[in-house]
Amino acid sequence: MGEVVGAGILAHVPTIMLPEHERRALNHGEDFTIGPALTQLRHEVFETLDYDTVVVLDSHWFTTVEFVVTAQDRRSGLFTAEELPRGMCRIPYDWRGDPELAFAVERVAPQHSAWITANDDHFLPMYYPPINLWTFLGAGLDKRWVTVSVAQTGEADDFLRAGRAIGQAIAETDRKVLLIGSGALSHTFWKLRYLRDHEAAGPEHIFTPEAYAADLERIAWFTQGDHRRVLDTMPDFMRFRPEAMFAHYLMLAGALGESDLTAPGRQYGEYENSLGTGQVHLWFDRPEGGFPRPQASAPEPNYDRQRAAMLAVGAPGAGPQPVS
Ligand SMILES: [Fe+2]
């Protein structure tokens, strides 16, 4: 039976891809800790654990009518970021995919009333979270990498359901997986005319003191393993606009048992500002005996009704026919 053998909430900020002299120029002569921390994580975890596949829950990849899981056999090329082309330019990447796992996620999704499709189109665009993280954590290690989008029309319950489907598929495909929710905590950028006053790492640059406090609260809960509290207070945290509605974490939690999850987080590097947003790396080691299994999902009547109608007319994206 497959399982998640390590999980993390990891930042992917463009700063980490800049040359050191440029990083120091932005931060009063000091380096940011968030890049070197990934190198440390690579040495301590990614180069030492036994695993097959890295799954990245990508808070920059927004899809609209469903979650999408990448199912290519391999992805390679040069990546220039549409968002910041001078900062992330012609970055080489080359990794094996995991089509079996991706299609397994699609297959089990209806059991969680989750709209998820696998996609193996080699022209599917790429976003910089997996590129940046693979550069630090994956290059040269020849592991499989899979990325998962965020349905931008989803809500917290949808993110948990998608995560449960991912967790179930991992178990059923016999994979050892490192699961990464890649994104920030509070996430409001300074407006352009003030932006360059807030490029340094210090938390005084976080957009508001209240957002800073909310981030610190959650980092404390994560390091204590109090995932229940993080989940229970999501409506409050949404006031501080966590990146991608915090879907990268909610999907991770869904795969790992949600409130049953008590794994404490180990922080790599400092909590740092990036243009007003709150950035941190937290790593959750596999507890003795393993992470909790994904919870079962209660049926969702809208899903059942819409899917039945789609299956009746052969509409695409309905997922596999139910086994009768
Ligand atoms: Fe981001």
Per-residue pLDDT of the chain in tens (324 residues, 90 and over written 9): 999 999 999 999 999 999 999 999 999 999 999 999 999 999 999 999 999 999 999 999 999 999 999 999 999 999 999 999 999 999 999 999 999 999 999 999 999 999 999 999 999 999 999 999 999 999 999 999 999 999 999 999 999 999 999 999 999 999 999 999 999 999 999 999 999 999 999 999 999 999 999 999 999 999 999 999 999 999 999 999 999 999 999 999 999 999 999 999 999 999 999 999 999 999 999 999 999 999 999 999 999 999 999 999 998 888 777 755
Q: Do 97 and 157 meet the contact criterion of CB atoms below 8 Å apart? A: no
Q: How close is the Cα of 93 to the center of ligand 1, in Å?
A: 19
Distance (angstroms) between ligand 1 centre and the Cα of 150 equals: 13
How far, in Å, from the CA of 14 to the mean position of ligand 1?
8
Beta bridge partners of 235: none
Q: Ligand 1 centre from 13 Cα, in Å? A: 6
Question: Which domains, ranges and CATH numbers included, belong to the chain?
Answer: 3-123+135-313 (3.40.830.10)
Query: Which amino acid appears at position 159 of this protein?
Result: F
Written as six digits, the tokens of 310 are: 């789609």
The CA distance from 294 to 177, in Å, is 14
Residue 324 DSSP one-character state: -
Q: What are phi and psi of 60, to 5 degrees?
A: -100, -15
CA of 177 to the centre of ligand 1 (A): 23
Class of residue 309 by CB neighbours under 10 A (exposed 0-12, middle 13-18, buried 19+): exposed
pLDDT at 318: 85
> How many angstroms does the Cα of residue 184 sit away from the middle of ligand 1?
6
For ligand 1, the distance from its centroid to the CA atom of residue 66, given in whole angstroms, is 20
| Dist. CA 315 → ligand 1 center (Å) | 34
Bridge partners of residue 91, in order along the sequence: 79
CA 314 – ligand 1 centroid, Å: 37
Measure 309 CA to ligand 1 centroid, in angstroms.
37
CA of 159 from ligand 1 middle (Å) equals: 18
CA of 135 to the centre of ligand 1 (A): 16
- Ligand 1 midpoint to CA 174 (Å): 31
Q: What is the pLDDT of residue 323?
A: 59
Query: How far away, in angstroms, is 227 Cα from ligand 1 center?
Result: 22
Residue 7 is predicted with a pLDDT of 98
CA of 104 to the centre of ligand 1 (A): 28
Q: How far is the CA of 95 from the centre of ligand 1 (A)?
A: 22
Secondary structure (3-state) at 188 = coil
Instruction: Provide φ and ψ at 12, rounded to 5°.
Output: -135, 20
Calculate how far, in angstroms, residue 274's C-alpha sits from the geometric centre of ligand 1: 10
291 CA to centre of ligand 1 in angstroms: 27
Residue 150: both structure tokens together: 């965020």
> What is d(CA 199, CA 132) in angstroms, rounded to the nearest whole number?
19
> Which backbone phi and psi does 270 adopt, to 5 degrees?
-90, 165
Q: How far is the CA of 183 from the centre of ligand 1 (A)?
A: 5
Can you tell me the distance from the alpha carbon of 276 to that of 201, in angstroms, rounded to the nearest whole number? 10
Nearest to 192 by CA among 88, 80, 82, 276: 276
CA of 35 to the centre of ligand 1 (A): 14
181: enclosing H helix or E strand? strand 176-182
Determine the residue type at 67.
F
**243 CA distance to ligand 1 middle (Å):** 7
What per-residue confidence (pLDDT) applies to 321?
72
> What is the residue whose two structure tokens read 């070197």?
36
Residue 152's pLDDT is: 98
Please report which helix (H) or strand (E) contains residue 108, including its range: helix 99-108
Instruction: Give the single-character DSSP code of 18.
Output: S
Task: Determine contact, residues 250/243, Cβ cutoff 8 Å.
Answer: no
Q: How far is CA 163 from the centre of its chain?
A: 11
- For residue 60, the CA-to-ligand 1 centroid distance in Å is 6
CA of 209 to the centre of ligand 1 (A): 20
The Cα 119–Cα 131 span in angstroms is 18
* Residue 59 CA, ligand 1 centroid: distance in Å: 7
Task: Give the pLDDT score at 41.
Answer: 98
Greatest Cα pair distance in the chain: 65
At 194 the pLDDT is 98
The span from the CA of 297 to the CA of 310, in Å, is: 21
